[in-house]
Amino acid sequence: MSKQVIVVGSGNAAMCAGIAALEAGAQVLMLEKADETLSGGNTKYTAGAMRFAYDGVGDLMPLLKDTDDPRLADTDFGGYTKAKFGEDLLMFNGGRALSPEQETLIGESLSAMQWLGGHGVKFEPIYSRQSFEKDGRHVFWGGLTLAAENEGVGLFDMELAVFERLGGSIRYGSGVTGLIMEDQKIKGVRVGEEEITANAVILACGGFEANSELRKDWMGGHWDKAKVRGTPMNTGDGLVMGAEVGARSYGLIDGCHATPMDLHMADFGGLNLPASERKNYRKICYFLGVMLNANGDRFVDEGQNFRNYTYAQFGKAVLEQPRHFAWQIFDAKVDDLLYAEYRFHDAHFVQADTLEELCYELDGVDPAAAMATLEAYNAAVDDKIPFDPTVLDGKGTDGLSLPKSNWAQKIDKGPFKAYPVTGGITFTYGGLKITDTGAVLNEHNAPIDGLFAAGEMVGGVFFEGYPGGSGLTSGAVFGRIAGQGAANL
C-alpha cells in the first residue's frame, strides 16, 4: 500500500519534495495556505536563477530550453567548480567551516538541476543580468548562469505541471494549523478543525520573514521596519509547529537575505501586480554607482565584489542607516547598463542635469554633505585602469577611508539619476535541524518519526549572507531529499 505524504507549502522546495515523493511511489497531498493566485511561496517573486556546480557548457546544454539560440556560439559560460561554490559560501560564514548542509547543497546541486531537467523543467542563460559583451562575446561572471524560463513564475508553473502529471493533488486555502502527534510519531496535520492523517509530513512552508513580530523578537535591531519583498504567507508557521512537537532550532536565527529595494514599494512587492513584476522593486545595480545615506555619506564598498555576492548583505546595510534608507547615484555613462527594474513603470527616482542640483533633489539627505562626498569620490577615482564589468577590474579609488574596490568611474556625465532604497527582506536563515534524509531532529538529536523539512525550514544552509541563486537550488536539493525520505519512511 502506498505511503501517504502531506507536503505543507507549494513553493519550489515543496514542489520538489512532492515530485520526489511521487517518484518513490507515495501518494502526495499538498496543502497551501494561500489561494491559487498567491500560491507558490517566495518562488514566484524570484528571478528563477539557480546556482550550481558545473564543469562547462557540456553540463549546461541538457538543461536549456532552446539549444538553437544563436548567441550560444558566441558565449563564454566558463565553469563553476564545487570548490569555488564552497569558497563562495565560506565568504558569508563568519569564520565558520562549511556546515553539513552546505556540503550537501554543493554536492547535490548539479544532480538536482539534472533531475529537474529530466522532468522537463528547462532553463535559459541569464544574458540580461549575468553577462556583459566583451570583444563580441557574451561573457558570464559570478558563477551564476541559468534561470528558469519565465523566471520564478515559470519555475513554479513547470514544477506544478510535473507534480500534477505524476498524480499529486494540491488544496489551496488550506493553511495547516498544527501537527498531529501520537506516541511520539507524527500522524498528520490539522487544518482548522479538520484532521488529515498521513504516514509522513514535510514542512516546506517557508521562514518567518512576513511576520513582523517574530522578526522583532527573533532578529531584533531594525528588522520590524524592513519591507517584505516576498509572499505574505511566510509567517513562521512551520517553525512554530515544529517547536510545539520538540523540533530542534538550528542555524542563524537572526540571519536573512535582505536586498536593496525601492523605498516606496508596498510590502510583498505589490500584490496588485502580476507575480512576474513584483521582483522589479529590487535595486541591485549599486556597483555601477555609489550609495549615500541621510548624512550624505557612503556606507558600503559598492564594488567589493560582484553584486550577486553582496546584494543579500547590502539590504541589511541600508536598513541600518539613519531612517533606514539610502539613495543610489548614477550618471549617464552607466544608464544603459542598469537592469530593467530601474526602468520599471513604478520605479521611483529623481533626475538633474548637474550633480549639485541632484543633491538638492535627494529627499531626507544633507545636500552639502552629499555633494562633498561625491566630489571626494570623483577625485579619488583611478582613471588609469579601464572599466570592465565582466571581471573584478580593480578600477578603484585612492585615499578614501571607505574605498570602492572595483568599477569606480567618476560620476560626471549628466543627466544624473538617483533612486531611493530601503532594506527588503526576502527569506530568513534560521530553521530546523534535519538528518541526511530530511527528517527533523528533536532537542535530543533524535529524528521525530514522520516529520521532514525542506527549503527555508532547513537551518544551517546560510549564515551571514549567501551567493545569489543559492536559495532556489537549496530548495530543490533539500526538497528532493525530504520527498525521498518521507516516501521511504
* 3-class secondary structure, 147: strand
pLDDT band for position 400 (50/70/90)?
A: very high
174-197 burial, b at 16+ Cβ within 10 Å, e below that, comes to bbbebbbbeeeebbbbebeeeebe
User: What is the percent of the chain where pLDDT is above 70?
Assistant: 99
pLDDT at 1 exceeding the cut of 80:
no
Return the C-alpha cell found at 402.
571607505
Higher confidence at residue 433 or residue 270?
Answer: 433
> What pLDDT is stored for residue 280 in this prediction?
85
Based on DSSP, count helices (H) and strands (E) in the chain, helices before strands: 12, 23
Give per-residue pLDDT as tens, 77-90.
Answer: 999 999 999 999 99
**Do residues 254 and 356 touch, judged by C-beta distance below 8 A?**
no
Distance of CA 116 to the CA centre of its chain: 19
Tens digit of each residue's pLDDT (9 = 90 or more) over 405-440:
999 999 999 999 999 999 999 999 999 999 999 999
Burial of 392 (0-12, 13-18, 19+ CB in 10 A): middle
Architecture of the 4-207+430-487 domain: 3-Layer(bba) Sandwich (3.50)
CA–CA separation, 461 and 475 (whole Å): 10
CA dihedral 15, 21, 22, 23 (to 10 degrees): 110
What are the pLDDT digits (tens) for 289-338?
A: 999 999 999 999 999 999 888 988 999 999 999 999 999 999 999 999 99
Q: Who has greater pLDDT, 271 or 242? A: 242
Residue 279, pLDDT above cutoff 80 = no
pLDDT at position 243 is: 97
What residue spans of 62-196 are helical by DSSP H?
Answer: 82-90, 100-118, 127-130, 151-165
pLDDT at 464: 92
What percentage of residues in the chain have a pLDDT greater than 90? 89
pLDDT in tens, 456-489: 999 999 999 889 899 999 999 999 999 999 999 9
Cβ contact 22:172 at 8 Å: no
Q: Which CATH number fits domain 258-424: 3.90.700.10, 3.40.120.10, 3.20.20.450, 3.40.50.970?
A: 3.90.700.10
Mean pLDDT score of the chain, rounded to an integer?
95
Residue corresponding to grid cell 514522520: 450
- Domain ranges within the chain, ordered by starting residue: 4-207+430-487, 258-424
* Whether the Cβ atoms of residue 226 and residue 424 lie closer than 8 Å to each other: yes
Residues in contact with 489: Cβ distance below 8 Å, sequence separation at least 6, in sequence order: 3, 199, 200, 450
Hey, is 415 helix, strand or coil? coil
